[in-house]
A = this chain, B = another copy of it.
Amino acid sequence: MSATTPTSAYAQLTWQAIVEAHARIAPRIHRTPVLTSASLDAMTGARLFFKCENLQKTGSFKIRGASNAILSLTDDQAAHGIVTQSSGNHGAAVACAARWRGVPAFIVMPKNAPTVKVRAIEAYGGKITFCEPKVSSRNEVCAQVQAETGAALVHPFDNDQIIVGQATATKELLEEVADLDAVFSPVSGGGLLSGTCLGARGLRPGVLVFGCEPERADDAYRSLSSGKLQSLESSDTIADGLRASLAPRTFAILRDNVERILLASEDEIISAMRTIWERMKIIIEPSSAVAIAPLLKPDAVRGLALPARADGTPAKLGIILSGGNVDLSSLPF
Residues of chain A having any CB pair with chain B under 8 Å? 30, 33, 35-36, 38, 54-55, 57, 59, 274, 277-278, 280-284, 324-325, 328-329, 331, 333
Q: Which residue of B lies closest to A279 (CB)?
A: B59
A281 proximity list for chain B (CB < 8 A): 54-55, 59, 282-284, 324-325
Complex CA distance for A331 and B333, rounded to whole angstroms: 11
Also in contact, A57 and B35, with CB within 8 A (given A281-B283, A282-B281): no
A133-B38 Cα distance, complex, nearest whole Å: 32
Residue from B30, B33, B57, B282 in contact with A283 in the complex, judged by beta carbons closer than 8 Å: B282
> Contact: A328 with B324, CB < 8 Å?
no
Q: Which residues of B contact A331 (CB under 8 A)?
A: 328
Task: Report the 8 A-B pairs with minimum CB-CB distance, sorted nearest first.
Answer: A281-B324, A33-B33, A281-B283, A54-B281, A282-B282, A55-B281, A59-B281, A277-B283
Contacts of A59 in B (CB 8 A): 281
**Chain B residues near A57 (CB-CB < 8 A):** 38
Which among A54, A278, A328 has the greatest number of chain B C-beta atoms within 10 A?
A278
The answer to whether B333 and A274 have CB atoms under 8 Å apart is no
Contacts of A55 in B (CB 8 A): 35, 280-282
Known interface pairs A35-B55, A274-B328; 13 further A-B residue pairs with C-beta atoms within 8 A, sorted by A's residue number: A33-B35, A38-B57, A55-B282, A59-B281, A277-B328, A281-B282, A281-B283, A281-B324, A281-B325, A282-B282, A282-B283, A283-B283, A328-B333
Distance A57 CA – B280 CA, assembled complex (angstroms): 9
Query: For A284, what are the chain B residues with a Cβ–Cβ distance below 8 Å?
Result: 281
- Considering the chains assembled together, what is the distance between the CA atoms of A281 and B324 in angstroms? 6
Q: How far is the CB of A114 from chain B (nearest CB, A)?
A: 13
Q: Cα distance A26–B54 when bound, in Å?
A: 26
Nearest B-chain residue to A54, judged by Cβ: B281
Q: How far in angstroms is the closest Cβ of chain B from A115?
A: 12
